[in-house]
Structure 1
Amino acid sequence: MPAVALFLLLAAAISLGMAAVWLAVVKGAGSGWVDTVWSFLVGGAGVAAALFPVSDWQSDGQRRLLMAAVAALWSCRLGLHILRRTLRGGEDPRYAKLQEEWGERWRGRLFLFLQIQAAAALLLTTTIFTAARNPAIGWQWSDIAGIAIIVITVVGEGIADAQLARFRSDDTNRGKVCDVGLWGLSRHPNYFFQWLGWVGYAVVAIGPAGDWGWGWLALAGPALMYWLLVHVSGIPPLEAHMMRSRGTAFTAYARRVNAFWPGAQKREQTT
């Protein structure tokens, strides 16, 4: 099967998957199902893109297996984390706010929004595909570095989510902003690690010499993820919600801690 045919099938599957979750949300399911399904779709499509044989791309079978494995690891960890939160009745405040802003047109607007997410998922799948199809034979230092980055990001995301859950489970922290552990280095360490994982795929795809032209296409993944997380559907709506719910506590936190890039806390200025 040519690569183009594979991607047409993956595009159709992702689009149908997001259409199904749209229908579920319209029928009353929690909005948390959107990110749950999206996470599993990206992982599933990434595994298929890495493993499915295509006739017009040469690749190393071991590299394809490893890229499929780390894609599945990332997807399962993130998807199961969001699924547990969703099953506990957790609603995503970002989608609640969008529904409020869209008013009576929210169903149609939500469908279009989720299809845009499907397109983003397909582009991210291209990054996994490109990493898996690097034609270099045998292990390269870039393979080890890229896989190490991805594994570190999965662990880092897990630690950040666990720290936040532990903070929220303490009733004495009600109304406060989590600034412990990784949350004292970045206001969104989970987003940072999520972005960094896509950098790992790009490292594998580009290779040690950067002489495989198609490998540079993998940079689209981290570029897209950075734009989405920092400027579109990640930090802006979530921080707007935090401002509404935490007020001055979040304002003080934002003055001390970087929004995305981890770093030392800034000192509070006194007058």
Structure 2
Amino acid sequence: MNPWSQLAMIWLLAALVMTLGWLWQRAKSNAGIVDVLWAASVGASAVVLAITGGGAVGTRVALAVLGGAWGGRLALHLWGRVRSEPEDGRYRYLRAHWNGSQLKFFAFFQGQALLIVLFALPFVAVAGNPRVSVPWLVAAGSVWIVSVSGESLADRQLDRFRKHPGNQGKTCRDGLWRYSRHPNYFFEWVHWFAYVCLAVGSPIDWLAWAGPVVMYVFLRWISGVPYTEKQALRSRGEDYRHYQRTTSMLIPWFPRRDTA
């Protein structure tokens, strides 16, 4: 299949999945399912594009394994929260801000379907790569292992902190969270460089840079850090402001002294 046909297929599948997700949130009043479906769908798109791509078999197998495993792990982690906890504060805020408008929620879910297509662009570049380069496969695997391991560790540390009754209303500073306010986001961003490595030699290898570039823009300025920190300030107030003043926002670094 040519890249345009592949992307059209991904969009149709994503739109269907997000429609079903919208129906689920309408019944359950929990829009957190959108995060689960986004992660699962982006991971699934790596597998679908690897199967339908025309590149070298070895590179496409690596794409399917790395992309599919990343998406599956993240989706399962998020699903554990969605099924066992109340709706995330970010979505409760949107629900109140939109006065519960299901039309706006439907548009939001379909917007996520378009983002799945956007984040599938690196996979298109990899799936069309006619070369198998062992050094670049090793580099991609190394980036993937470090980033997914780091993100998994950050997720476990935060979950352990949140489950302790005495930590309600407090900010996690355990482990990686001592050095970054969003270590999970940092390693999520690093993960996308694995596909830049896999795309080396592809005639459209430049598309692979859409992953780390777009992910950084979304995390830093649009839907990641801004929304998460606004909610943290609403729920944790001065404790989180102190955390902001002393801890690196995204890239892990040593804590600063609070000069306020």
Superposition TM-score tier, normalisation by shorter sequence:
over 0.9
Partner of 1:112: 107
Mapped contact 2:139–2:197 kept (Cα < 8 A): yes
Distance between the aligned counterparts of 1:203 and 1:264, measured in 2?
A: 29
* Paired residues for 1:103-182 under 5 Å: 103=99, 106-136=101-131, 138-182=132-176
Give the one of 201, 214, 222 matched to 2:212: 222
The root-mean-square deviation of aligned C-alpha atoms, in Å, is: 1.6
Instruction: Find the counterpart in structure 1 of residue 225 from structure 2.
Output: 235
How many angstroms does 1:206 deviate by? 3.0
Aligned-partner Cα distance in 2 for 1:247–1:117: 30
Counterpart residue identity of residue 38, structure 2: W
Count of matched residue positions in the alignment of Structure 1 and Structure 2: 260
Give the match for residue 7 of structure 1. Answer: 7
- Offset of residue 213 of structure 1: 4.3
Matched-pair contact (CA < 8 Å) for 1:30–1:89: no
**Matched-pair contact (CA < 8 Å) for 1:32–1:90:** no
Match of 1:70 in 2: 66
Cα distance in structure 1, aligned partners of 2:29 and 2:169:
27
Task: Tell me if structure 2 keeps the 8 A contact 1:67–1:131.
Answer: yes
- Once the two structures are TM-superposed, the CA of residue 148 in structure 1 deviates from its matched residue by 1.2
Whether the 8 Å CA contact 1:70–1:151 is kept in 2: the answer is: no
Q: Is the 8 A contact 2:3 2:124 kept in 1?
A: no
- Structure 1 residue ranges, 4+ long, deviating more than 3 angstroms after superposition: none
Taking the aligned partners of 1:189 and 1:239, their CA distance within structure 2 comes to 13
Contact 2:129 2:203 in 1 (8 A): no
Q: Deviations over 1:205-257 (max 9, x none)?
A: 135xxxx4410111111111111111111111111111111111000011011
Q: Which of 89, 93, 100 is the aligned partner of 1:93?
A: 89
User: 1:12 Cα deviation (Å)?
Assistant: 0.2
Per-residue deviation at 1:132?
3.2
1:252-271 matches, within 5 Å, as 252-269=242-259
Looking at structure 1, the residues matched to 203 and 128 of structure 2 have their Cα atoms a distance apart, in angstroms, of 12
- Once the 2 structures are TM-superposed, how far is the Cα of residue 174 of structure 1 from its aligned partner? 2.3
Aligned partners of 1:226, 1:42: CA distance in 2, in Å? 16
Aligned equivalents of 1:28, 1:172: Cα separation in 2:
29
Identity among equivalent pairs (%): 34
Distance 1:221 1:94 in 2: 24
1:38 to 2:34 alignment: no
- How far apart are 1:177 and its partner, in Å? 0.5
Q: For 1:101 and 1:147, how far apart are their aligned partners in 2?
A: 42
Aligned partners of 1:147 and 1:201 also within 8 Å: no
List aligned pairs for 1:46-65, cutoff 5 A: 46-52=46-52, 54=53, 57=54, 59-65=55-61
TM-superposed CA distance for 1:33, in Å, is 1.1
Mapped to 2, the partners of 1:148 and 1:90 lie a distance apart of 36
CA distance in 2, matches of 1:3, 1:249: 48
CA contact (8 A) 1:163 1:181 kept: yes
CA distance in 1, matches of 2:133, 2:199: 13
Counterpart for residue 28 of structure 2: 28
TM-superposed deviation, 1:29 = 4.3
Give yes or no for contact 1:47–1:67 (8 Å, CA) kept in 2.
Answer: yes
Give 3-state SS (helix, strand or coil) of 2:28's partner: coil
Q: 1:249 aligns with which of 236, 239, 242?
A: 239
Consecutive unaligned residues in structure 2, runs of 5 or more: none
The amino acid that maps onto 2:235 is S
